[in-house]
Amino acid sequence: VSIPSDVRAHLESVGVVDADVVDGAEVVVAPPTADAAASVLGIAGPAGTPVGFVGSGSRPELGGVIDHPIAMSTHAMADVIDWQVDDLTVTVGAGMHVGDLESMLEARNQTSLLPMIDPSRTVGGVVAEGSSGFARLKYGPTRDRVLEATVATGYGKVVRGGGRLVKNVTGYDLPRLFTGSLGSLGLITSVCLKLWPLPAVREMVAVEEAAAAYEFLYRPVSVLETEAGSFVMLEGSASDVSHQRDSIGGHPVASDGGPRLIDLPVTLSARIAPRNLAKAVELVVALDPSRWTAAHGVGTIDAGWGNLARDAFLTLRREIQQMGGTVVVIRGASVIGDVDPWGVTPSGIDVQRRMKAQFDPFNICNPGKLPGGL
Amino acid sequence: MPFVEELVALLGPTRVRHHPLDLAMFAKDAGIRSGTVVAAVLPETASEVASCVRIARKAGVPIVPRGAGTGLAGGAVPLDPGLLVVLTRMNTIESVDPVGRTAWVGPGLINLDLSRGVDHLGLHFAPDPSSQQASTIGGNVGTNAGGPHCLADGTTVAHILGVELVTPDGDIIVLGGEVPDSPGLDLRAVVVGSEGTVGLVTKVLVRLMQNAPDVATILVGFPSIATAANTVSHVIASGSIPAALEIMDRDMVQAVERFVGAGYPLEAEAVLLAEVTGTPESVMDATANLRAIATANDASSIRVAVSDAERALLWKGRKAAFGAVAQKAPDYYLHDTVVPRTRLVEVMTKIYEIGERYEVDMLNVFHAGDGNLHPLVAFDAKQPGMLERVRAAADEMVRVSIEAGGSLSGEHGIGIEKRDLMSLVFSEADLDAQSRIREAFDPDGVMNPGKVLPLGSRCFDAAGARLS
């Protein structure tokens, strides 16, 4: 597919970024506003020109590699729009880097709890992936903190859902629908996030047995198992944290200890009911990953390899699926050798298909990224 | 076969209600409007629900789900003559996973019965609407219900991991589940709070929370609403989010005291009921912090419950607030707006002014921690012109909340009651997008028609051009 001349002329007026190169795209465009993004989609749609959305570019393969003549970057929408410090809400452009957001919030003892293991990722990218950080056990997933979303839809309109309020049930839940939608319905241009106060102390503690710590502790921030051992993240006042640490016989780890970023040629995300986590960890570890992190009480195992044989991968996926779980390829489908990134068709596929068609009637927004070929 | 006979053939005569007395009873929820019910059915399985849906579709009758009927926004009131699917008989805890801390439950299970049913495992269900002794989990899902303890833990949507849904086509699908982050769009989240407009929820996977090892319940009297609200703001700004922060005004305290005798300070202009939970150290620290901030804000009395019985009594006062009002007048109109917490005092001042101007009898109890206001107007609908006055005052109270950056509902839902106010909060394009969400589930508009979205919300065609 190449870009029709009238679409290209419109892109020039919005702001083509010649310096940026995105694999699979002829042109990279960086709209400065939600209206500009919507105008591009409004013209690309009837022309049938697919558009791929790009944040920091850390997840190009998620949901599969697609052809998109136009890549739309969020980097020109990276401002703080509205930070209500006392109301614990912040509204930011989708292109803001998570690390920049967290540094800003930290100065006022607040946090968005967005995953910080890769601070160069963008807020929009993390929300569009529905990615949650290590604090999920205690604080729930990222989608529970997206209070408001402004999006440019596949039919070329700017739409806002939710509100800049910590509690609100007014209307259908557009922010949660767009969280984790992988750009399949349109581009998230800004979000309002619920913030939390930073605790006096947050500490990573090494423990002998993660499962026992999960069972024993009252609402720890996280209980993780990794290739380098088991860790519990605790928070509270200094005396509270030290009491909790002693109660499980843990010891503090150096600031560079604990789980590490998993970004290897083959990166998988296995998801399983938490009660089946130990069994699933066994299956993953048997394939000798270079790095892995399993989250107790959550049911996720992230693992990375330099290379992984196709048969081994397919066996792992089948065994995890037999336990009701899924194995998603985050990176390296081509390294493994021609495997579907999802390996499942979602339940309610008819509704999924109709929802995609409602928001992206011309099928131009990251087409094919959702499971089930949507 | 005629519609009702076909339902009777499916469910038997006792589970199909169409006697005029039954129909009159089912035509109302706890709000102030009534609708028209053709028949009310009491299915016991998802496949019975699916069959009822198919029968109704064939007859061209709209379908409205209902739980205990405690909703205040008219969500379970059929506007067009409809089939009411009452899900209260599907009320069991089907399975509990103590490791993953989840349970599959029927939609008809009463909220409080869920927490009671898992208490022996040291677990509970966090959303605790004041109606929790009567309202059902399915109804809580429908409205995305809240409650005092949603301050720290979030409203119902944060506690629903999966739903079994009978679609408007009569198919049974499962959205979400025990496995985190199901691939595909998060349709589960859309079902929660959709007020029966996308299908019928026939099973719910709930997230359960650990019971806190320690808890402190604190009752503080204040000389004004402002000093109480400032205490709430300062507590949160100090870096601690308590489990609950509730404020009641003088009139509400008087009503509650006459009703339950919880020992609330009668001389106070406002009372703050706070609860902190956690490890014993964290509870001790948070209690001391709250005490210091309350004192600095001119607290007239501070009482920390010393026993479970005293704690239960203090909470009984709060939860009985709406029952207490029934003693004052036969009818009440309860608001549910939300404002940014920092605008609380300013908005409350305006709300009192509106109440005085319309000469309505108003009492206030609100979830101060998250800015969720509940001005309650007690009245007698039989008095000529009274209902109109109450409604006009209500309309103004909503508008001052919106002007302060607020929203229509924090936990009760939109239903019919606030449907036509949606355009105060959302643009035409926003409402069109919400119509699209609904249409993806229910292209023919048979589920609870006329609720949530103003008529004519769908206004753009596929290419984004305006529909004529």
* Predicted pLDDT at B324: 84
At A22 the pLDDT is 77
Residue B281 touches partner A, C-beta closer than 8 Å: yes
- Mean of the pLDDT values across residues A84-113? 97
Per-residue pLDDT reduced to its tens digit, B277-298: 999 999 999 999 999 999 999 9
pLDDT for the residue numbered A324: 97
B439: nearest CB among A109, A358, A361: A358
Are B333 and B245 a contacting pair, CB within 8 Å?
no
**pLDDT of A254 higher than 90:** no
Q: What percent of chain B has pLDDT over 70?
A: 100
pLDDT in tens, A310-339: 999 999 999 999 999 999 999 999 999 989
Distance of CA B337 to CAs A76, A274, B131, B367, Å? 35, 37, 18, 11
Cα(B173)–Cα(A181) distance, integer angstroms: 20
Q: Is A199 helix (H, G, I), strand (E, B) or coil?
A: coil
> How far is the CA of A263 from the CAs of A59, A288, A330, in angstroms?
10, 16, 9
Q: Which residue has the tokens 């101007």?
A: B357
Cα–Cα distance measured from residue B144 to residue B162, given in angstroms and rounded to the nearest whole number: 14
Q: Taking the CA atoms of A65, A69, A75 and A81 in sequence, report the sign of the dihedral they define.
A: negative
Q: Is the pTM of this model over 0.90?
A: yes
Checking if the pLDDT of B227 tops 90, the result is yes
Could you tell me which chain B residue has the CA closest to the CA of A166?
B370
Q: Which of A168, A222, A363 to mutate to test the interface with B (most CBs of B within 10 A)?
A: A168
Give the pLDDT score at B328: 82
CB pairs under 8 A between A and B: 269
> What integer pLDDT is reported at residue A1 of this predicted model?
63
With a threshold of 0.95, tell me whether the complex ipTM lies above it.
yes
Residue B175 has a pLDDT of 98
Question: Across the interface, do A141 and B192 touch by the CB < 8 Å criterion?
Answer: no
Tell me what the mean pLDDT of segment B411-433 comes to.
Answer: 95
pLDDT score, position A18 = 67
Q: Which residues contact A301 (CB under 8 A, 6 or more apart)?
A: A269, A270, A271, A272, A277, A280, A281, A284, A292, A293, A294, A295
Contact status of A327 with chain B (Cβ, < 8 Å)? no
- pLDDT at residue B462 is higher than 80: no
B405 pLDDT higher than 90: yes
Contact B235, B354 (CB under 8 A): no
| Percent of chain B's residues with pLDDT above 90 | 89
Q: What is the mean pLDDT of chain A?
A: 95
How far off is chain B from A19, nearest CA to CA, in Å?
32
DSSP state of A167: S
* Inter-chain CB proximity A155 and B143 less than 8 Å: no
Is B425 in the A-facing interface, judged by CB distances under 8 Å?
A: yes
Find chain A residues with C-beta within 8 A of B406's C-beta: 165
Closest CA to A238 of A252, A225, A223, A224: A252
Distance of CA A96 to the CA centre of its chain: 14
Q: What is the chain A residue with the closest CA to B174?
A: A347
Q: Does B154 touch chain A (CB under 8 A)?
A: yes
**Closest CA relative to residue A50, chosen from A73, A66, A74:** A66
CA distance A74 to chain B (A): 21
What is the average per-residue pLDDT within A179-207? 96
Q: Compute the average pLDDT of residues A82-106.
A: 97
B467 at interface of A, judged by CB pairs closer than 8 A? no
Strands of B108-199 (E only): list them.
123-124, 160-166, 172-176
Q: Are B436 and A358 a contacting pair at CB < 8 A?
A: yes
Q: Does A183 touch chain B (CB under 8 A)?
A: no
Q: What is the C-alpha separation between B324 and A69, in angstroms, rounded?
A: 65
Average pLDDT over residues B177-197: 97
Question: Closest chain B residue to A161 measured between Cα atoms?
Answer: B430
Please state, rounded to an integer, the average pLDDT across all residues of chain B.
Answer: 95
**pLDDT above 90 (res B230):** yes
Angstrom distance (rounded) from CA B52 to CA B42: 10
A258 vs B198 pLDDT, higher one: B198
B468: pLDDT strictly greater than 70: no
Determine the Cα–Cα distance for residues B379 and A55; give it in Å rounded to an integer.
55
Nearest to A304 by CA among A317, A288, A320, A290: A290
pLDDT at B326: 79
- Cα angle A372, B206, B93; round to 5: 115
Q: Tell whether A198 is within 8 A of chain B (Cβ).
A: yes
The answer to whether residue A256 scores a pLDDT higher than 80 is no
> Residue A21 above 80 pLDDT?
no
Select from B201, B198, B119 the least CA-distant residue to B160.
B201
pLDDT, tens digit (0-9, with 9 covering 90-100), for B152-173: 999 999 999 999 999 999 999 9
Whether B182 contacts chain A with CB within 8 A: yes
